[in-house]
Structure 1
Amino acid sequence: MNKDIERRTLRKITWRIVPFIMLLYFIAYIDRVNIGFAALTMKQDLGFSASILGFGAGIFFWGYFLFEVPSNVILHKVGARMWIARVMLTWGIISGAMAFVQGTTSFYVMRFLLGAAEAGFFPGIILYLSYWFPARHRAGVTSFFMAAAPISTALGSPISAALLEMNGVMGLRGWQWMFVLEAIPAVILGVVVFFYMTDKPEKATWLKEDERTWLVNAMNEEAAGKADGAKHGILSGLANPRVLALALIYFGTSAGLYTMGIWAPQIIKQLGVSSMTVGFLNAIPPIVSVAAMILWSRHSDRTGERTWHVILACLAAAIGLVVAAGANGMVGLIAALTLVNIGISCAKPPLWSMPTGFLSGAAAATGIATINSIGNLGGFAGPAMIGWIKDQTGSFTGGLYFVAGLLVLSAVLTLVLSRFKVAAPVPANALAH
């Protein structure tokens, strides 16, 4: 009987929650990395060098870094519904205001403010999933949520490229139209979140009474059994060595993700194709990576193994970056970028299943936010270094090698930590009864 209730409940909460948060992340990721497409024409219009573009794209993550932990603590206190709605409304407004950037200073300021506004969204959703889904199902669910990022690139690339063609309409540049029109969905969905999202299982009136009771009991039992059961305060989430170690691992994967999100259009463009062709070619790698990520994370859930699922994926992405650095033809380049996308996408769900396996409550809120805020500084380091090296050498090669090195470091650190049982996975049968 319990198994029947479990199946019914998980199916219902999956259909209620996962497609909706995928849509939210889809919009968030477009607004975060559409600077990569805007730069195809914005760079010339405003006279930006590769260094300025890379630094400005990456400074987003310093806003993230400074505001992410307090944002997630507030979310834990006031509830996801109210706080995620606030996050989306403010980031939508600021993303649209990117259309009015005039030069280097305003570019840096607006990118920083965008990061500050969006701080808390991603770790807030990861925390939110830990309220609703038992640990043994979490990597699979997280993979569907995170699939929104590559899907966003796949669908957003040709859309962004098409919006660039609106150059001159009503006196605005194509990149200005792109920022304005791609910001509108975030504002609309911010309002929808307030009325649609349910904070905790206890408040889920859309579940039957037996389903709600099973879910509340299962999540309470899991929280009571976590390794750090006596240390669920804010400071334990910040000071836990596993949290800091996972943040360093995530640093490398973030450098890889945002190198692709921000610089891949420029890397493809240098082979002499049109912006629209760039849009379609840039959509190929993330489409393939979505399927790979879902299969990889399901395998991780089924086996209860996290460590090697992270290591192998990081190494695959590093190899792809090295191959991309030496690729001369379009087929070889797209194949290499596809391998990079697969590796980065596959590393993230098992990695994000680790912290919620040993933290709960306020410690989970701060721990997840700490991992994401420190780790996402890789989103500054990767793009900024690539821009600087490009200006110094005239080539993307050195920058791609640099990011590949960060991913190898992530793989090595994951292996070392596993030997000291610092990032031990949650057993697949942890909640079996």
Structure 2
Amino acid sequence: MTPDQAVPGGSRTPVASGYEIEELTRTYSKVFWRIVPFLMLCYVVAYLDRVNVGFAKLQMSQDLGFSETVFGLGAGVFFFGYFLFELPSNILMHKIGARIWIARIMITWGILSALFVFVKTPTQFYILRFLLGLAEAGFYPGVILYLTYWFPSHRRAKIVAVFMSAIPVAGIFGNPLSGWIMQTFSDSKHFEGWQWMFLIEAVPALLIGIATILYLDNNIRSAKWLSEREKRLLEDEISAQPQHAGDRTKHSLRALFADSRMWWMSLIYFAFVTGQYGLTFWMPTFIKSTGVSGAFNIGLLSAIPFLVAIVVMNVLGHSADKRRERRWHLIVPALGAAVGFSVAASFAGSTAVSIVALSVAAAGVLTCAPLFWSLPTAFMSGAAAAAGIAVINSIGNLAGFASPYMIGYLKDLTHSTATGMYVLAGMLVIGAIATWLVPAKLVNR
């Protein structure tokens, strides 16, 4: 693999003057390999601890007598805590620094994930999910903000797509792992399989949280592994990007909340996140409903849609940056995902058709998430980006509450997952239409 292939945007003519293309490519290669794989590993662990409750449900609901609605509410209440603390968390990270703050997030969520071993009642389940949301708030938008410190807007779609490949990676490896743990350790040493899963999968968050303190740098200027010329090159690229020239006034919270663009972005993200968490929380249940039995078998089949998604999201991320086109690179996968959910709902009796349809749905919704962030970060920068990314992500992630709860409620009501999947398809169509209404000149940079 050449540097231009490995590093998003590596072949692009430099924005900042006075540097050769080879020097720019070499420097961004160095930055990419230093920070992006590590952040991706962090997000694999984060996402696994966030959604492994979907796998725990296969045993947990029966063991504890939880209805589909109770489980859906518990899965979703995570996002209330996430919503409440996300904006303060991102502002604190901007002030304190990414190294300490991201480490704090990972260590606290690791501890709370382990405590799920002791859940016995719905109330305990709700409280721990809420606290887990508080603990993890700020991680994802914090990383998106952190990447804006290193990469200019015209390089960011592919960078974020690579980072967010952690979601399908977590599904590819995490789902079979969760199924294997639950099946292998069931009723071992007085713990059920789902309890062992929570305990074992909490350990990486603690270890990587400690590693973050030793490894991560707060910004370009504090990176000892960069030469002075490399630091100046990166800083010149950041300062030369379009939003710094045209949007300098958008730095107060008051101006941010008065900006209609931010609220429109929140609507789009809410629609896309509805599909994303509908898929990731309920994938094991969707597949089980087609007649598949055994936690490990369900885990293996659940990995297939994520394998497809990891290819599609990176191909479209590369295409979006190469063409500097954002809207249609979101609209097409959103509509594709809507078709995938609809087909899966219509052919729920066929495992093969459902897996193909869920693969299309996964490729669509997981592609929308990273490519979406090239929209708001095209016109937000500095302190406005810190607050704006957090607000958009907070509002959007309320769908993380609405989606699991809605599907659980509809499943209890209709004794089928089909109605919930049609609703997910409808939300993705709304997101596609809202994206189409965004002026191209605002975001195609």
TM range (shorter): over 0.9
Q: 2:95: which partner in 1?
A: 77
Alignment partner of 1:56 is 2:77? no
Structure-1 separation of matches of 2:384 and 2:434: 23
Which range moved further: 225-234 or 105-114? Answer: 225-234
Structure-1 separation of matches of 2:252 and 2:380: 10
Q: Structure 2: which amino acid aligns with 1:338?
A: S
Q: 1:298: which partner in 2?
A: 318
Equivalent residues of 1:69, 1:373 under 8 A apart: yes
Deviations 1:138-171 (A, max 9, x none): 0000000000001101100010001102012111
Tell me the secondary structure at the aligned position of residue 188 of structure 1. Answer: helix
Equivalent residues of 2:376, 2:443 under 8 A apart: no
Equivalent residues of 1:235, 1:363 under 8 A apart: no
Structure 1 segment 355-366 matched on structure 2, within 5 A = 355-366=376-387
Flag the 1:235–1:223 CA change in 2: closer, same or farther, 3 A. farther
Q: 1:234: which partner in 2?
A: 253
Deviations 1:168-187 (A, max 9, x none): 21111110110011011001
Which range moved further: 65-74 or 355-364? Answer: 355-364
Alignment partner of 1:156 is 2:165? no
Q: 1:368: which partner in 2?
A: 389
Flag the 1:65–1:237 CA change in 2: closer, same or farther, 3 A. same
Alignment partner of 1:36 is 2:46? no
Q: 1:167: which partner in 2?
A: 186
Q: Structure 1: which amino acid aligns with 2:224?
A: T
Flag the 1:246–1:224 CA change in 2: closer, same or farther, 3 A. closer
Structure-1 separation of matches of 2:55 and 2:425: 23
Q: Structure 1: which amino acid aligns with 2:280?
A: G
Structure 1 runs (4+) deviating above 6 angstroms are: none
Q: 2:407: which partner in 1?
A: 386
Given candidates 268, 272, 280, the residue that maps to 1:253 is: 272
Alignment partner of 1:264 is 2:283? yes
Question: Could you tell me the TM-score, scaled by structure 1's length?
Answer: 0.96
Question: Could you tell me the TM-score, scaled by structure 2's length?
Answer: 0.93
- Quote how far apart the aligned CAs of 1:4 are: 2.3
Q: 1:221: which partner in 2?
A: 240
Equivalent residues of 2:109, 2:135 under 8 A apart: yes
Structure-2 separation of matches of 1:124 and 1:331: 39
Alignment partner of 1:319 is 2:319? no
Aligned residues: 424
Alignment partner of 1:90 is 2:108? yes
Q: Structure 2: which amino acid aligns with 1:61?
A: F
Equivalent residues of 1:226, 1:357 under 8 A apart: no
Structure-2 separation of matches of 1:169 and 1:117: 29
Q: 1:431: which partner in 2?
A: none
Structure-1 separation of matches of 2:334 and 2:68: 26
Flag the 1:218–1:381 CA change in 2: closer, same or farther, 3 A. same
Q: Structure 2: which amino acid aligns with 1:392?
A: L
Equivalent residues of 2:243, 2:379 under 8 A apart: no
Given candidates 141, 159, 184, the residue that maps to 1:141 is: 159
Structure-2 separation of matches of 1:99 and 1:315: 39
Q: Structure 2: which amino acid aligns with 1:268?
A: I
Alignment partner of 1:185 is 2:204? yes
- Quote how far apart the aligned CAs of 1:414 are: 1.0
Structure-2 separation of matches of 1:105 and 1:224: 46
Q: 1:207: which partner in 2?
A: 226
- Quote how far apart the aligned CAs of 1:223 are: 7.3
- Quote how far apart the aligned CAs of 1:416 are: 1.7
Q: Structure 2: which amino acid aligns with 1:213?
A: R
Equivalent residues of 1:26, 1:149 under 8 A apart: yes
Structure-2 separation of matches of 1:64 and 1:128: 19
Q: 1:113: which partner in 2?
A: 131
Structure-2 separation of matches of 1:86 and 1:223: 33
Tell me the secondary structure at the aligned position of residue 169 of structure 1. Answer: coil
Q: 1:430: which partner in 2?
A: none
Structure-1 separation of matches of 2:388 and 2:329: 21
Structure-1 separation of matches of 2:376 and 2:408: 33
Deviations 1:266-324 (A, max 9, x none): 11112332211100000000011101100001000001010111111111111111111
- Gaps of at least 5 residues in structure 2 are 1-18
Q: Structure 2: which amino acid aligns with 1:202?
A: R
Tell me the secondary structure at the aligned position of residue 225 of structure 1. Answer: helix
- Quote how far apart the aligned CAs of 1:240 are: 2.2
Given candidates 345, 354, 358, the residue that maps to 1:333 is: 354
Q: 2:195: which partner in 1?
A: 176
Structure-1 separation of matches of 2:218 and 2:444: 25
